[in-house]
Structure 1
Amino acid sequence: MKIVHVVTYVSEDGAFGGPIAVAIAQLEELSRQGHEVELLAGWDGKAKLSPAGVNVRLFKVRRLRRGGFSGLFAPGLARAARAHAKAGAAIHVHLARDLVTMPAALAVASYVKPVIQTHGMVMPDQRLLARMLDHIFTKAILRHARRVLTLTPSESQGVKDVANDSIAVETIANGLRAKDVSTRARRTNEILFLARLHPRKRVLAFGEMCKILVQSDVPVRCVVVGPDEGDLPRLRAFISENSLDQHLFYEGVLPTGDAIGRLSEAAVYVLPSTGEVFPMTVLEALAAGTPVVTTSSSGIAPHLVALEAAEVNDGTPEDLASAVLRLLDDEPRRAQLVVNGRVGLATKFSIEAVVRRLESLYGER
């Protein structure tokens, strides 16, 4: 079967990381199962992307307005998606409110009913631009979809509210394979934050956690990796004001596709974010065999607790520091979290199970 996925943006700084990581994981597994697969995406003109078994076509984006992804458009991408649909390919659009994925979803509508996956990005929003996009694009796309894939029941309700109609919605987990990262050198005292520096990700809580550990004479090296979305000046000011320049470092951005490798070098991964639907970096840390500390404020948290695959708490700097210290001091606990995480990847977050469901959806007529 020919299967084509459409995603908004591939960039050198990995700013649109979650949906890209999901699409690549799905496409690589579909390729392993013998399908001919292709990724169409907007592109910054710099990033390099070569997932195993996946044909990648990148289209240089332009901007209608500054800031965010909603103003991006990629000339030629919708036309390419339409050509694939006309030739009988299955189309899977990782939909956001933007001028890359929405025109692509509309362009294929005369030939196929696409599978639409929203990644928590298409929820009720009263801002004027969101309401305009929903009126022009979103409702029609959701109503025409073969199936709308969501991550949680609350997201399912959200897309139904946006569509203002009865639509075919199904909850499906993100999935990954465990990776062999044995050739990577793990830094036994490195605590890693890998995410966008957006207020919701709470990099300053990570900074406060690092300060607590340093003041407790714990020999840690705290590293922040990710593109700035508002909080980098505050982080740098925090480092300076608290004399943490020898303990807390901003390492810059990471190219798309390099997250698992970088995670595998750390002793502990900490994600203090709030309101996450299903953070893909947590699954990537499990795949890398890196113990995770995260908050209860995400759709993945109950699964991690049930699997005993991560340290999950309320996300205060004190709680984060206590969890990190507990992991650094308890090697059997770290090892057990890694084992449980790999069990989770083989069961609850199985990419093979995800792809079996996608195959059945693509085959529906």
Structure 2
Amino acid sequence: MLFQREGGLQVQVRSTIAALQTLASPSLEVELVDPNRQRIDGYDVIHVFSAINGNYRLVELAHELDLPVVLSALLSPGWNRAAGLRARIADRLVGRLTDWNVQTSYAQTRRALQLAQLVVALGPAERMALIDAFNTDPSKIRLLPNGISPHFFDADAGAFRRHSGLAGAFVLMVGAISPYKNQLGLVRALAAYEFPIVLIGHAQRQHQPYLQQLLASPKVRWMGQLQHDDPLLASAYAAASVLALPSQGEVFPLSVLEALAAGTPVVMTDESALSLPSSGFALKQLRWRDTAMLCRAINDFVAAPPQRAEVRALVSAFSWQRVASQIADCYTQLNRRRERVSHAV
């Protein structure tokens, strides 16, 4: 299912691979594995993206083959110590009721995290979730954020202005159209203001009624889905007065990083692994249900926007090349460890 949809995970996988392939390292070859056509025992190290959706089976197989695994966890930001305790209790109850023939998704995720040699967390918040909710060994966790493609830093607002016909202030939201993303909360929060709300993202069939509810507002403009490398997407970030992302939860949202790279301030949910020091002048994180605070924060940015150069500076170090170099170090470390064990045997 990985590439049957488009979103942040797909961008992360493709961008990571592309950046790794550009590294000047003759000892490193990287490719995307097709598990339906290729066996994983032909590789020295595998990198699994996401600890959920059945991926624990790949990690289990690699463990049986003594094949080192780097696992990018991509955990929901809602996991904490209390949630982990409740999940373990529920897991034991399910096991006893089904004579241990049924596993919870928590148990599968935890097993993947336990068997992986290195676990990648996108930020400090996700690292704490891994430790507190899943009892992951802290010594094998590496903090490696997502990167940002260079063209977002150079984005020009003109193309989107010409395409949309919008000349003044507007609020942008980029993401799948769904109640979880909470576009309707944004529309309701800004009901008293005149500036348009531009939505970019795909609406699945089950969310078409939700989309129609959004489009009932004369202020809403839906642009459909734009590909990640479409210059119009980068231009939309640069043209917007504010990017809003009041969803119920985000792991490490690329849309936020890309908007900041384009110099645009952001108002988003506080249910996220994203943490940028000294970013309060351009990044507001608040409870996703708090429409009053959402409205106030957006209006403040529209009325007094921060300097775009200062906003860009917040994420200037987030390049895919830098991230790829750190990931490559992880691969090398695991491969050398495996070779030492093989020689010892």
TM-score, normalisation: structure 1: 0.68
Aligned to 1:24: 14
The residue correspondences of 1:1-365 to structure 2 (distance < 5 A) are: 9-11=2-4, 13-14=5-6, 17-34=7-24, 35-40=28-33, 76=36, 79-83=38-42, 85=43, 88=44, 90-99=45-54, 101-109=55-63, 110-121=65-76, 124=84, 125=87, 126=90, 131-133=103-105, 135=107, 137-160=108-131, 166=137, 168-179=140-151, 180-182=154-156, 185-187=159-161, 188-189=167-168, 190-214=170-194, 218=195, 220-228=196-204, 232-237=208-213, 239-240=215-216, 244=217, 246-255=218-227, 257-258=228-229, 261-265=232-236, 266-267=239-240, 268-300=242-274, 302-303=275-276, 305-306=278-279, 308-314=281-287, 316-330=290-304, 333-334=305-306, 336=307, 338-347=308-317, 349-364=318-333, 365=337
Q: Which runs of 5+ in 1 are unaligned?
A: 1-7, 41-58, 60-74
Q: Tell me the distance in 1 between the aligned counterparts of 2:132 and 2:269.
A: 27
What is the SS of the residue equivalent to 2:30?
Answer: strand
Q: 2: CA distance between counterparts of 1:116 and 1:323? A: 36
Looking at secondary structure, tell me which structure has more helix per residue. 2
Residues 76 and 251 in structure 2, CA contact (< 8 A), matched pair in contact too: no
Q: Shift of the alpha carbon at 1:291?
A: 3.3
Gaps of 5+ in 2: 95-100, 162-166, 338-345
Structure with higher RCO (Cα < 8 A, 6+ apart): 2
User: How big is each residue's C-alpha offset from its partner over 1:30-80, in whole Å with a ceiling of 9 and x where there is no partner?
Assistant: 22323533234xxxxxxxxxxxxxxxxxx6xxxxxxxxxxxxxxx616x44
TM-score, reference length from structure 2:
0.71
Cα contact 1:259–1:284 (8 A) shared by 2: no
Bigger CA radius of gyration: 2
Report how many residues are paired.
300
**Percent identity (aligned):** 24
| 1:186–1:264 CA contact under 8 A, matched in 2 | yes
